[in-house]
Chains A and B, each alone.
Chain A
């Protein structure tokens, strides 16, 4: 970060002005409307763990509008402080990255601000001002080199096939359905069984399906979450081109982040709708269970479902997993905070890269509740949630099995 005493250089302040000017019309209106009532704070998973005012969404809003006013408010520019300091950028970064981007503040805000987009924009500004935390910054390098945020070779993308009981997965030049595996499923051992489960179910139903193999690049979500829209656009263009080239009509992904990005961000990044439909694996599972294409016997185990924030609150997929779950267990359980009001597991927003202890504290609350409810199995529908839960179980010693919903289905199918 450029430094000049506590103040940044004039050039940097010009850059700050240009960057702050990225707040859209609606976002400036939202910042102007925010009454700093603090109601968003009551449900914020990050603030509730740290109790640090910097982590409160309303305080972030106040910080953002103060900086914006320094460059764009007529009266402030005439009579007030117009400089942006190192401390300002550091505080904004601390605030922006101690957030899981779960969007719960949107559901607490009386004015219904689109906070997920607002906080992502704040991260973009932080990135422009060189304030991105070091660990998050490393992601960019790994993404650039390997097209995934884990720094692993792209040819390892299908290694999950070798680690599971699957003989092979189809890599076709033309197919009706594409399974977009996602980096966190493909590269993280804890999620390999999720990919195996989805592949097994697609085979069982008899779909004409394919994976993209090495041609699958990161969906772009980590880039968007760290304020790098340019890279996300590059990935969006590549993935959509590859899928459309193969004549794919339906893209299925088991990752809530990939799903949200495909449905809502790709049209914005590309300026058009892709020529295929995007489904989350739980929607697909629900469809094949309801239509009778897949027949399963329900277990008597008590199963509690955790809504991934990116799937439920931010993408509106709330009933599909519950409808599917009815076919999988005779004893479904629910968290108190669920659906649109789900409490985040801590696995999102790149929080792990910035403050893993906070992530574990957040996930522990969720695990505590699941155990109190008497659940045998905690299921979710997102590889980041599954990782958070498995880390929580391991690190904090909870006695509960953690599965993806599709893994539960595959288990009932008898594939493992």
Chain B
């Protein structure tokens, strides 16, 4: 590997995580400051915890409104967000939040399927749904919707990082060490433990794109990861106040 790539790859593991952390927090802070600097709402909506949770489940988890409007989009949204949940959960194993023993109670074969086979299919679903979103956006552009540049940047960035992640699964690992292979992003706090040493190129492209994506979240429409729970909760409480 040439020295420039070696430096970039080292930078992506040793320095970029700190930059990611700072930029992400700064981005969130800027967003919050933007909202805080706007005038408060004249109407005080009393948050009703039961109604808020109910509508978060109905509208964010089950996509009730999309089901009523567009069944194909509902399926894509459901599969996309389901695969996001699966992929995030799967990655937590690498950070030692859980282990394969979680599934061992159902048999070793099942546990193996859950941690090694299923993620490959989930990865494909994740990519296919993103391609669908991208194609839909392009087809409806200037007809039913007008995108901002960040709508495309966010989606393309996510798609690229997903393809890199899936590529890592499909390309043979560089080695299978006897002990776990650890990648230290932030000592003691963010340490990834891998069973194999993945292909270096796919791995580093994946972690660079992932970190760029995380940094971009507060500046993009992916801010809905946070606000997408707040607005339906307000909607739910509002409905409770309105309905007679």
CB neighbours of A29 from chain B (8 A) = 35, 227, 230-231
CB neighbours of B144 from chain A (8 A) = 38, 41-42, 47, 53, 56, 58-59
CB neighbours of B73 from chain A (8 A) = 37, 39
**Pair B38/A35 contact, Cβ less than 8 Å:** no
Interface size on A, residues (CB 8 A): 56
Cα of A41 to Cα of B69 in the assembled complex, Å: 10
Check if A111 is an interface residue, CB within 8 A of chain B.
yes
Q: Within the complex, what minimum Cβ distance (angstroms) separates B66 from chain A?
A: 5
Check if B104 is an interface residue, CB within 8 A of chain A.
no
Cα of A90 to Cα of B147 in the assembled complex, Å: 20
- Would you list which residues of chain A between 60 and 84 have a CB under 8 Å from chain B? 62-63, 65-66, 72-75
Check if B223 is an interface residue, CB within 8 A of chain A.
yes
Check if B178 is an interface residue, CB within 8 A of chain A.
no
Check if B232 is an interface residue, CB within 8 A of chain A.
yes
Cα of A27 to Cα of B238 in the assembled complex, Å: 14
- Would you list which residues of chain A between 121 and 141 have a CB under 8 Å from chain B? none
Check if B221 is an interface residue, CB within 8 A of chain A.
yes
**Pair B145/A58 contact, Cβ less than 8 Å:** yes
Q: Which residue of A lies closest to B63 (CB)?
A: A110
Check if A25 is an interface residue, CB within 8 A of chain B.
yes
Q: Which residue of B lies closest to A113 (CB)?
A: B231
Contact size range, B: 35 or more
Cα of A63 to Cα of B145 in the assembled complex, Å: 11
Check if A407 is an interface residue, CB within 8 A of chain B.
no
Cα of A58 to Cα of B145 in the assembled complex, Å: 6
Given A21-B38, A25-B39: A108 touches B69 (CB 8 Å cut-off): yes
Check if A23 is an interface residue, CB within 8 A of chain B.
yes
**Pair B221/A25 contact, Cβ less than 8 Å:** no
CB neighbours of A75 from chain B (8 A) = 219
Cα of A113 to Cα of B230 in the assembled complex, Å: 10
**Pair A24/B39 contact, Cβ less than 8 Å:** yes
**Pair B146/A59 contact, Cβ less than 8 Å:** yes
**Pair B70/A39 contact, Cβ less than 8 Å:** yes
**Pair A33/B228 contact, Cβ less than 8 Å:** yes
**Pair A25/B41 contact, Cβ less than 8 Å:** yes
**Pair B148/A108 contact, Cβ less than 8 Å:** no
Check if A413 is an interface residue, CB within 8 A of chain B.
no
Check if A87 is an interface residue, CB within 8 A of chain B.
no
CB neighbours of A24 from chain B (8 A) = 38-42
**Pair B235/A112 contact, Cβ less than 8 Å:** yes
Cα of A26 to Cα of B234 in the assembled complex, Å: 9
Choice from B36, B142, B224, B244 contacting A35 with Cβ under 8 Å: B224
**Pair A114/B235 contact, Cβ less than 8 Å:** yes
Kindly specify which of A216-224, A313-321, A327-335, A351-359 makes contact with the partner chain.
A313-321
Given A37-B145, A58-B145, A112-B235: A314 touches B227 (CB 8 Å cut-off): no
**Pair B235/A25 contact, Cβ less than 8 Å:** no
- Would you list which residues of chain B between 188 and 244 have a CB under 8 Å from chain A? 219, 221, 223-224, 227-228, 230-232, 234-236, 238-239, 242-244
Q: Which of A35, A114, A268, A316 counts the most chain B CB atoms within 10 A?
A: A35
Choice from B143, B231, B243 contacting A111 with Cβ under 8 Å: B231
Choice from B65, B68, B221, B231 contacting A36 with Cβ under 8 Å: B221
Binding site of A, secondary structure by majority: helix, strand, loop or mixed?
A: helix
**Pair B228/A111 contact, Cβ less than 8 Å:** yes
Choice from A28, A30, A113, A341 contacting B34 with Cβ under 8 Å: A28
Q: Which of B30, B39, B231 counts the most chain A CB atoms within 10 A?
A: B231
Given A25-B39, A33-B231, A111-B228: A53 touches B142 (CB 8 Å cut-off): yes
Given A39-B70, A316-B239: A63 touches B151 (CB 8 Å cut-off): no
CB neighbours of B219 from chain A (8 A) = 75
Cα of A320 to Cα of B243 in the assembled complex, Å: 11
CB neighbours of B70 from chain A (8 A) = 39, 42
Cα of A114 to Cα of B45 in the assembled complex, Å: 12
Check if B55 is an interface residue, CB within 8 A of chain A.
yes
Check if B31 is an interface residue, CB within 8 A of chain A.
yes
CB neighbours of A26 from chain B (8 A) = 41, 231, 234
Digitize A87-129: 1 where CB-to-B-CB distance is under 8 Å, 0 elsewhere. Answer: 0000000000000000000111111111000000000000000
Check if A22 is an interface residue, CB within 8 A of chain B.
yes
Q: Within the complex, what minimum Cβ distance (angstroms) separates B205 from chain A?
A: 26
Given A56-B144, A114-B235: A32 touches B38 (CB 8 Å cut-off): no
Cα of A25 to Cα of B39 in the assembled complex, Å: 6
Digitize B40-70: 1 where CB-to-A-CB distance is under 8 Å, 0 elsewhere. Answer: 1111000000000001000110010110111
CB neighbours of B223 from chain A (8 A) = 32-33
Q: Which residue of B lies closest to A43 (CB)?
A: B69
Check if B140 is an interface residue, CB within 8 A of chain A.
yes
**Pair B242/A315 contact, Cβ less than 8 Å:** yes
Given A32-B31, A316-B242: A112 touches B59 (CB 8 Å cut-off): yes
CB neighbours of B143 from chain A (8 A) = 51, 53
**Pair A22/B221 contact, Cβ less than 8 Å:** no
Given A22-B39, A36-B221, A39-B73: A341 touches B231 (CB 8 Å cut-off): no
Residues of A within 8 A of B (CB): 21-30, 32-39, 41-43, 47, 51, 53, 56, 58-59, 62-63, 65-66, 72-75, 106-114, 264, 267-268, 283, 314-320, 341
Task: In the A-B complex, list the 7 residue pairs whose CB atoms are closest, starting with the nearest.
Answer: A112-B235, A316-B243, A38-B145, A316-B242, A38-B144, A33-B227, A62-B146
List 4 other contacts, CB 8 Å, given A53-B144, A112-B55. Answer: A29-B230, A42-B144, A65-B148, A111-B235
